[in-house]
Amino acid sequence: MAWRERLAGYAFVGPFLAVYAAVLVVPLVMGLYISLNNADLFGQREWVGLDNYAQALGDPVLHQAFGNTVLLALLIVPPLTAIALLLALALNRPGRFAAVLRGVFFSSLVLSVTIVTLIWRFILVPDAGLIAEGLEAVGRTPIPFLSDPDLVIPAIAVTTLWWSLGFPVMLLLAGLQQVPGDIYEAAALDGASRWTVLRRITLPAIRRTLLLVVMLQTAAQLQIFGQAQLLTGGGPGGASRTIVLYIFEVSFGRWELGYATAIAELLFGMILTLTLLQYWLVTRHEEPRA
């Protein structure tokens, strides 16, 4: 290739590479370095080796946050995937009504986390919240969703489900629309029931999209932050503190940047391992694609 063409190629990818390096690669490397130091927000650095990681492994607050985060991910990802799949199947048809509904389900996605938590505050708070009003109307005591240690995690999970549904639905709809129509016709001639079609035709056909949804959602929910911070501030008594919320508190509350970065690196490693594991589990029986 002529050097001019080469240069043009680099010129096209150059801006992206520069931004990618500046906002992703450099922080990633710097983060690794900072996690090996005692560091504060003013640039103070003191080499401590793996001390921060040792501290993390023995930190009871982090252990609690880890448990909360995993529980949230477990409460969110499977139902989110299932509900998104049902909605996508229901909305995967021509017609204006389905088109309007597709827009409706996608719309919650464009709301910022602040708005979402505000909406769910109106629903969940025990005094004058939507659910509380409903319960009082039938003579029941309002439930303190946001201050009962056993209820905050489910409350955050439901809020997140409502907020996050749109994108997986869109991904799955796109996946469904890629399935060639004639194999459904072949299945009709093969006398397949609707259930058989779903199980033997549709689900295998959108297997990769389902995997993508689960991987993206697992990665996203393990980093859950805004809903917990705004709905409960991690309370009561740390019952809803998530890992990222803890990282935030450690770095910007206690100014222990080195320790916070070490936790962040651990979280990064955990998410990477989990998503790769999911990918391997789903694709290990597949032949290389032609």
Residues that bind another protein (CB under 8 A): 180, 182-183, 185-193, 196, 200-201, 204-205, 207, 287, 289-290
Closer CB to another protein, 188 or 272, in the complex? 188
Residue number with CB closer to another protein (3 or 195): 195
Long-range contacts of 208-212 (CB under 8 A, 24+ apart): 208/175, 208/282, 209/171, 209/172, 209/174, 209/175, 210/81, 210/85, 210/172, 210/175, 211/278, 211/279, 211/282, 211/283, 212/171
Q: Which residues contact 26 (CB under 8 A, 6 or more apart)?
A: none
Nearest approach in angstroms of CB 183 to another protein is 5
Phi, psi dihedral angles at 58 (to 5 degrees): -105, 10
Residue matched to tokens 């490693």 = 269
Report the alpha-carbon angle 160-165-167, nearest 5: 120
What minimum distance in Å lies between the beta carbon of 172 and another protein?
17
Per-residue CA distances from 29 to 21, 32, 235 (Å): 10, 5, 33
Q: Are the beta carbons of 151 and 131 closer than 8 angstroms?
A: no
Shortest distance in whole angstroms from residue 216 CB to another protein = 22
* C-beta closer to another protein: residue 134 or 204: 204
CB of 289 to another protein, least distance (A): 8
3-state secondary structure of 223: coil
**Nearer to another protein by C-beta: 44 or 178?**
178
Beta carbon nearer to another protein, 4 or 285: 285
Q: Between 112 and 178, whose beta carbon lies closer to another protein?
A: 178
Cα four-point dihedral sign 150, 152, 155, 161: negative
Q: Residue 166: what residue type?
A: G
How far apart CA 136 and CA 144 sit, in angstroms, is 13
Measure CA 271 to chain center: 11
- Residue carrying the six token digits 């370095």: 33
Q: Which residue has tokens 């399935």? A: 179
C-beta of 133 vs 190, nearer to another protein: 190
Select 96 or 289, whichever has its Cβ closest to another protein: 289
Least distance between another protein and beta carbon 188 (Å): 4
